[in-house]
Structure 1
Amino acid sequence: MTEVEETAQNRRRLLPRDRRRAQLLQAAATAFARQGFAATGLEDVAREAGVTRAIIYRHFASKTELYQGVLDDTQERLRERLGSPDQYDEQTVRALVDAACDDPDGFRLLFRHAQHEPEFATYTEERIRLAARITETYLTDVLPDEAHRRWVAGLIPKLAIELILSWLDAGRPTGRDDLVRMIRATSRTLAGR
């Protein structure tokens, strides 16, 4: 067997179903984050994963189902990192930054691309609404005016996410700790602390 044939055979090795699915989700996150849902075909995902479209169809019935799978997987990873909303504390910002570093393409997909896709925008909107509601509970004592508090609570999660996205896009020009400090300082400034 030649070296080329041996390499091709190694690439075609069967993976356990759960590992193949994880591989496809990661490849899809990368492909979709590059061009968005509409501009990305299953051929792009297959090429990114090093498989055929038939392999994708063994795991996902359609491009839409695959995209939803990536969004669901990304949200699950966020939940694992952040914990439940009643557990959010000073370390939550660090956990959010770590989650973005663990899966930058999934993070971009969830917080940048999905919001521009009509059938997937609710994924982002729900996550932002939840974060705003939680933030508002922490601001009750700091900002007694309800309208002002609600406005600031809506801004803080959006700005944190935008800071993380721009940091990722810039190639992570500072350390994680510096980014976390910047997000916290911005949040405190908005809250008038």
Structure 2
Amino acid sequence: MNENQPDSLNGKYFDDVYQANSDPWGFETSPYEHAKYAASLGALPRTHYPRAFEIGCSLGVFTAQLAQRCDHLLGVDVSAEALAQARRRCADLPQVTLQQMQLPDEFPQGPFDLITLCEVGYYWNFADLARAADCIAGTLPAGGQLLLVHWTPPVHDYPLTGDEVHEFFLQKVGNKGPWTHLGGQRHPQYRLDVLEKR
């Protein structure tokens, strides 16, 4: 790990992005995003999760889909701009709670049966990713699951790549770590891995 780490991206960065474009990554309209959401939901080993936590819910497009499989889903995002759209989208979903939160400095208590870390991990530097990973492991009981999905091409202003995020977690699989690897997929522009707490 490089000691001269870049800073993790903060709330102002994302508010500026959303103010410039209300759907900057095409979550609502992109066939790529819709296919990725379908692959993500299809990769989940269980049809139902009592308590789930979505890190980086953004506009709530995936939130609304995931909520159909949860008794309670907590979605958090650092951007107030994104959350305003997510609240409108999920207004008729009583099982969804949305909060503004700066991870890993803030982290909900849990416990959760499922945590999703999708298209978020590369916004942190390695130090913050490690802190977040400890929080994730600490709020999942044995048998709790973690869904990782990230864009793999490098982006110049992101501290990490998607591959670096996934490899960080996969290094903690096995006898020495808290995770079992349930399966993974590599697509042309993203990868997906499902882990389970040992």
For Structure 1 versus Structure 2, the TM-score category normalised by the shorter chain is: under 0.3
Q: TM-score, normalising length from structure 1?
A: 0.27
* Larger fraction in strand: 2
* Larger fraction in helix: 1
Q: TM-score, normalising length from structure 2?
A: 0.27
| Structure number, greater radius of gyration | 1
